[in-house]
Amino acid sequence: MLEVKDLLKRYGDRTVLHHLNFSVEKGEVVGFLGPNGAGKTTTMRILTGFLPPTSGEVHIAGYDLQSKPIEVKRRIGYLPEQPPLYMDMTVKGYLRFISKLKGIRGDSLADRIDWAMQKCGLQEVQKRVIANLSKGFRQRVGLAQAILNEPELLILDEPTVGLDPRQIREIRSLIKELAGEHTVILSTHILSEVSMTCEKVMIINEGRLIKQGNIEEVTAGRSLEEVFIGLISQDETNVQ
């Protein structure tokens, strides 16, 4: 489904991603963990084709991201850290615009929008202007935008940041619901979120992938927090 080979990203002299290698199978939910500034957002931006890698290869759903960006973009849904919303549009108008961008047309258009709104619990606010919505609703509109085209790969950058506990629970159950038919990569630094929603985990620190595998394997009976802190501090002493 997703294959990343030897991914390297440099900003000038600063290397932010060091030779990442990982792959994700269809239907998996992967938690992407790391401290702030570890390179999570950069990795996700590369996977979505927003930023090009300095070197390395990315294959998504059998297409090479460098040579077939449009084919890849058609098959992904992306929720950036800051939900990309047009404040002056209504929820429904916004979703209609996104469906057109994503090439959903004709009869299926209304169905897709209704489906996404229903999944994200947006029906009651569909006629409201986005600028007047609360943060939780805005986040959900962002999520609805990402799942509109039923993407094979869903990339979510900190999908629950800034939400209240009840909303966090709703988003989590939504992600679980989507898991079967979609592949999901979500970044976060809330560790409990990963243990609750993901099967696989990847831990990144200072641009290096320091651990990946199934949650049970990685934790081996300990709590994820313990493992995470242990790995990060171990990695930092190694680097020094």
DSSP-assigned letters across all residues of 28-74: -EEEEE--TTSSHHHHHHHHTTSS--SEEEEEETTEETTT-HHHHHH
Which member of 22, 78, 137, 228 binds other proteins (CB under 8 A)?
78
Are the C-beta atoms of residues 90 and 133 closer than 8 Å to each other? no
Which residue number, 27 or 84, has a Cβ lying nearer to other proteins?
A: 84
Q: Segment 138-167, which members bind other proteins (CB under 8 A)? A: 145
Return the number of other C-beta atoms located less than 10 Å from residue 148's C-beta: 23
Q: Determine, following the binding rule CB under 8 A, whether residue 26 of this chain makes contact with other proteins.
A: no
Per CB under 8 A, the segment of 83-91, 179-187, 193-201, 232-240 that binds other proteins is 83-91
Are the C-beta atoms of residues 68 and 131 closer than 8 Å to each other? no
Which member of 6, 23, 105, 177 binds other proteins (CB under 8 A)?
105
Are the C-beta atoms of residues 133 and 91 closer than 8 Å to each other? yes
Pure H helices in the chain: 40-47, 69-74, 91-101, 107-119, 135-147, 165-179, 191-197, 215-219, 224-239
Q: Determine, following the binding rule CB under 8 A, whether residue 11 of this chain makes contact with other proteins.
A: yes
Are the C-beta atoms of residues 26 and 184 closer than 8 Å to each other? no
Q: Segment 168-227, which members bind other proteins (CB under 8 A)? A: none
Distance between CA atoms of 144 and 115, rounded to whole angstroms? 9
Q: Segment 30-69, which members bind other proteins (CB under 8 A)? A: 45, 48-52
Q: Determine, following the binding rule CB under 8 A, whether residue 108 of this chain makes contact with other proteins.
A: no
Closest approach of other proteins to the CB of residue 72, in Å: 8
Closest approach of other proteins to the CB of residue 186, in Å: 16
Closest approach of other proteins to the CB of residue 84, in Å: 4
Are the C-beta atoms of residues 65 and 145 closer than 8 Å to each other? no
Which residue number, 32 or 78, has a Cβ lying nearer to other proteins?
A: 78
Instruction: Name the residue among 70, 58, 61 with its Cα closest to residue 103.
Output: 70
Closest approach of other proteins to the CB of residue 75, in Å: 9
Which member of 100, 135, 169, 222 binds other proteins (CB under 8 A)?
100
Residues forming contacts to other proteins in the complex (CB under 8 A) are 11, 45, 48-52, 70-71, 73-74, 76, 78, 80, 82-89, 93, 97-98, 100-103, 105, 145
